[in-house]
Structure 1
Amino acid sequence: MRGLSNYSLSCCVNTLLQTFSATWEVGEILAKWDTAGVGAGDRNVPLQLKRVLAAMSSDRPPQAPHLDFLHCLDKNCIRLYTQHDADEVFLFILNFMQQQMDNKPLALEIQDLYKISLETYLECLECSSVQTLTSYMLSLSLHVKEDHDSLGNCMASFFQHQELRGINCCFCPKCEKKTPSKQAFKLLSLPCILCVHLKRFRNRRGFTEKLDSVVTFPETFDFSETLKEAFSSDFAQVNDWKYTLHAVVVHSGYATCGHYTAYVRHTENQRWYYADDSHVQEASWEDVQSTYGGRHRGTAYMLMFRRDSKEDGRQPELSG
């Protein structure tokens, strides 16, 4: 693993680059992209991402392989000398893949790595008519309680039925007016790489605050056991929906003044490493667990899970 120096408050981007590097599927897809005809390369985010990931994995990387990538983001309005939100920058980068890659099939391959397909289910509580809408997201944003919580509970809360009343009533075409409704989400498909965003920042009385509450998460997660009721009837359950954690984005400090680091599982030896800008050291699963939360501690902000595959030669072995 290669450390990345903090250049113009770049800890957020440095951390995301470490997670992209640990997500070897992204690098493999970008390596198939013929960039010979790409113009304005200094403004093309996927081109610069391809170059920096290749440099980070080489035997003799440049001293600062990420500088061109940082300047490229700056030209696309993700400014230097500015603190950013890691989940927002992550989604910006994935969106730039769709906008700026001239090979659209490969761009869709990258999107499909992270694509979570959902069905929104809305039932009128007066006439029982049902409306559905299919959509997708690239990051699963989960509400965090102010007391002790777990990843399983956060996900269960996301997929629970919610009643919409009062100002939250929705228009019912059959009743031809706004009526109380019951809303829920159903899973249509899960991606190879599942990105979970723990919503630790809240607006309270006009100020943004950070929740340091404890959220526990496992090294492996089985959807087929934990969220059976979240599956749509159309969800093909022919596979085991088991996932293994391979990267954790950590936020330290306050909402208005913080620092990002990352724990990532090495692609080859499957060991955990801790990356704090230019400093990289080997870590343990117990170290990763220290990011569950608590006051004055670095807290997990984004979790990256990879779906287990029996056909995949890179099937991970869990650390002790």
Structure 2
Amino acid sequence: MSAGVCRFFSELLRRNAQLGMRGLTNYYLSCCVNSLLQSLAATWELAGILEKWATAGLRADSRNVPLQLKKVLAAMRSDPPQPCPHRDFLNCLDRNSIHLNIQHDADEVFLSILNLIQQQMEDRDLALEIQNLYKISMETQLQCLECNSVQSRSTYLLSLPLHIKEDHNSLEGCMASFFEHQELRGANSCFCSQCGTRKPSRRGVKLNSLPQILCIQLKRFRNMRGSTRKMDCEVTFPETFDFSESLREVFSANFSQDDCRYSLYAVVVHCGCAVSGHYTAFVRHKDNKQWYYADDSHVQQTSWEDVQTSYGGRYRGTAYMLMYRRDSKEPTST
């Protein structure tokens, strides 16, 4: 590496240190993982749980995702001058079938990381604590349209997948559509235990509880005529969101939470088309509450107005994942 290139990277690291954030070098098409790591680093609750995990006997385990995640998040909190060492984490994901040199879907990688934490973390209490951090608990109700009997079951998601329309969308509208009742007829009819056969049904979903960290996926990729197309249409989303004001009707009878106000703290952005693209991230700093833009090794301070440019539009980076934090338990800065 030439002296000029070394000086460039030294200056970049110095600036990132002043910003209080560390960039991540793009290795082997790692922009997807880099953007997720910036978002996970801004999720201080996750790092706090991992710090409680005693890992003395796992130091050499290069296949253990929660162990390598704990290490890389700690490294991202430390000071430069050295680049953040996240190659071990990338290689660990590669050994767990999230391969290098392949373009990945950010939401799929995010869910894979959470699932691997559940599989590989031997402290089951802490593993469950991490799952509960993201757990969206729901009740699915299926009503037979002939006998009116209702079948209910509890389920959960770790990321809320929201379909978008090809014109203007709002986050509130997308959420309302997700919880709308759907009629299932014909080939989609469901088995009714009361009638003993498949019958037309009405399906509805209600919220039992909301998590501390609400992760939302805006489903911008759609399969059409055998090929995948990206939808660049606009999806507006607020910096703060209150379920109790906007979507109280989606609460189940068992919903008992008082704190339903959320603040946005991370946005994973996709640039490009469905078959070729690049991921970046906007994250909000824990201490100074300022927004930053992370594009691999380059980090710069930005603003909420710049975050809003990711609403959508042709030839622009578009928000793909949104991470909201419930306001009530946000810790004070030290």
Short-chain TM bin: over 0.9
In 1, Cα distance between equivalents of 2:81 and 2:54: 22
Give the 3 Å change call, closer, same or farther, for CA 224–61 of structure 1 in structure 2.
farther
Work out the CA distance in 1 between the residues paired with 2:190 and 2:56. Answer: 50
Shift of 1:39: 6.7
Counterpart position of 2:184: 164
Which of 250, 273, 279 does residue 230 from structure 1 map onto?
A: 250
1:252 is the counterpart of 2:271: yes
Offset from partner CA, 1:156-181 (integer Å, 9 cap, x none): 00001111111110011111111110
Among 299, 314, 317, which residue is 1:298 paired with?
Answer: 317
- Map 1:71-110 onto structure 2 (within 5 A): 71-110=91-130
Structure 2 portions without partners, runs of 5+ = 1-20
**2:259 equivalent to 1:240:** yes
Match of 1:318 in 2: none
Contact 2:22 2:80 in 1 (8 A): no
Q: Does the alignment pair 1:112 with 2:132?
A: yes
AA of the residue aligned to 1:128: N
2:166 matched to 1:154? Answer: no
Aligned residue in 2 for 1:8:
28
Report deviation, 1:84. 0.2
- 1:60-79 pair list within 5 angstroms: 60=80, 62-79=82-99
Equivalents in 1 of 2:156, 2:229: separation in Å? 28
CA-CA distance at 1:200 after TM superposition: 0.3
1:40 is displaced (CA, Å) by: 5.2
State the secondary structure of the residue aligned to 1:41: coil
Q: How does 1:1-320 map to 2 (within 5 A)?
A: 1-38=21-58, 41-60=61-80, 62-237=82-257, 239-309=258-328, 312-314=330-332
Give the Cα separation in 2 of the matches to 1:256 and 1:312: 38
The alpha-carbon deviation at position 72 of structure 1 amounts to 0.4
Tell me, what secondary structure is at the counterpart of 1:33? coil
The answer to whether the Cα contact below 8 Å between 1:159 and 1:184 also exists between their aligned partners in 2 is yes
Alpha-carbon distance between aligned partners in 2 of 1:156 and 1:312, rounded to the nearest angstrom = 27
Asked whether the 8 Å contact 2:162–2:217 carries over to 1, the reply is yes
- Which letter maps to 1:142? L
CA distance in 1, matches of 2:210, 2:275: 33
Unpaired stretches in structure 1, ≥5 consecutive residues: 316-320
Alpha-carbon distance between aligned partners in 2 of 1:133 and 1:39, rounded to the nearest angstrom: 41
- Matches of 2:208 and 2:105, distance apart in 1: 28
Amino acid paired to 1:265: R
CA distance in 1, matches of 2:279, 2:209: 30
AA matched with 1:31: E
The structure-2 alpha-carbon separation of the partners of 1:101 and 1:21, relative to structure 1 and needing over 3 Å to count, comes to same
Partners of 1:225 and 1:63 in 2: how far apart?
Answer: 44
Distance (whole Å) between structure 1 residues aligned to residue 147 and residue 332 of structure 2: 52
The number of residue pairs the alignment matches comes to: 313
Partner SS state of residue 37, structure 1: helix
**TM-score of the superposed pair, with normalisation by structure 2:** 0.92
| 2-structure distance, mates of 1:56, 1:271 | 18
Shift of 1:46: 0.4
SS at match of 1:43: coil
Cα distance in 2 between the residues matched to 1:195 and 1:62: 31
When the two chains are superposed, the root-mean-square deviation of aligned CA atoms in Å is 1.1
How far apart in 2 are the matches of 1:38 and 1:132?
42
Deviations 1:170-195 (A, max 9, x none): 01111111111000100000000000
User: 1:62 offset after TM fit, Å?
Assistant: 3.8
Separation in 2 of the partners of 1:162 and 1:218? 27
CA distance, structure 1, for counterparts of residue 84 and residue 165 of structure 2:
39
Question: What TM-score does the superposition give when structure 1 sets the normalisation length?
Answer: 0.96
